[in-house]
């Protein structure tokens, strides 16, 4: 998705979210506090630079002071999903797949790509949470995703690429709604100053293939392979 299109898309998300917030239509995640959550998957992702994560934590701490009952991502869990190779589902385990075949396919797909940058500026939102807006320089992220779609389509490997929705943006989810929000107007007021906040630039030089839970919690994530760009 081109930068101009991304701006339009994020703006539409924001306006739609605000209209839902104003009438109290939040989608609360019932799984966040479930200790028996066994939804796991396989994800190709990138973790932003510390400078960007520090700016994100500055933002989150300010929101958390007023809404401590909601779920805020720690720095260790913040990530950009390049592609959900196998979207999280209940009961998925690594012994159900032959991991080396996935690594080989990803190596082949990524071998011709170079590093690129993403500018994280502003926030957008949905009825389930809040996201940092990402704006990639150039088309490399889209190109990588399209190459992966084609490669997996032509393989016999289990995958669920774009099963939930087609990935076209570079956003990062950093807040999820967990408990009832009784004063939505206060939340909107707290979020507004960060609508165009500059979180900084990050260089994508390495992607990670991980076995992960739904929330990418550090204690539940297992690194399978690193790919250099």
Average pLDDT over residues 138-163: 89
Q: Tally Cβ neighbours within 10 Å of residue 138.
A: 11
Number of domains in the chain: 1
Residue pLDDT, tens place only, 181-207: 999 999 999 999 999 999 999 999 999
Examine the pLDDT at 165 and tell me if it is beyond 70: no
pTM: 0.94
Would you state the pLDDT for residue 163? 63
Number of other CB atoms surrounding residue 222 within 10 Å: 10
- pLDDT tens figures, 51-72: 999 999 999 999 999 999 999 9
- Whether the predicted pLDDT of 176 surpasses 90: yes
User: Environment class of residue 112 by beta-carbon count within 10 Å: exposed (0-12), middle (13-18) or buried (19+)?
Assistant: exposed
Q: Check whether 105 has a pLDDT greater than 90.
A: yes
Q: Structural domain of residue 66, as residue ranges?
A: 3-228
**Is the Cβ–Cβ distance between 117 and 81 less than 8 Å?**
no
């Amino acid at each position: 998705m081109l930068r101009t299109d991304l701006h339009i898309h994020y703006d539409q998300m924001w306006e739609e979210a605000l209209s839902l917030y104003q009438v109290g239509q939040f989608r609360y995640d019932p799984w966040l506090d479930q200790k028996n959550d066994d939804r796991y998957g396989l994800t190709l992702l990138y973790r932003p630079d510390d400078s960007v994560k520090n700016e994100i934590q500055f933002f989150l701490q300010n929101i958390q002071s007023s809404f401590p009952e909601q779920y805020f991502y720690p720095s260790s869990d913040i990530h950009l999903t390049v592609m959900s190779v196998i979207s999280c589902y209940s009961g998925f385990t690594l012994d159900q797949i032959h991991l080396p075949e996935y690594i080989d396919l990803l190596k082949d797909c990524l071998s011709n790509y170079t590093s690129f940058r993403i500018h994280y500026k502003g926030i957008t939102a949905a009825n389930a949470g809040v996201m940092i807006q990402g704006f990639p320089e150039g088309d490399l992220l889209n190109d990588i995703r399209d190459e992966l779609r084609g490669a997996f389509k032509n393989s016999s490997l289990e995958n669920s690429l774009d099963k939930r929705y087609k990935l076209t943006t570079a956003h990062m989810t950093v807040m999820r709604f967990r408990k009832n929000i009784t004063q939505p107007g206060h939340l909107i007021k707290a979020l507004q100053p960060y609508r165009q906040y500059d979180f900084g630039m990050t260089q994508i030089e390495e992607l990670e293939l991980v076995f992960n839970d739904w929330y990418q919690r550090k204690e539940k994530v297992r690194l399978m392979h690193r790919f250099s760009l």
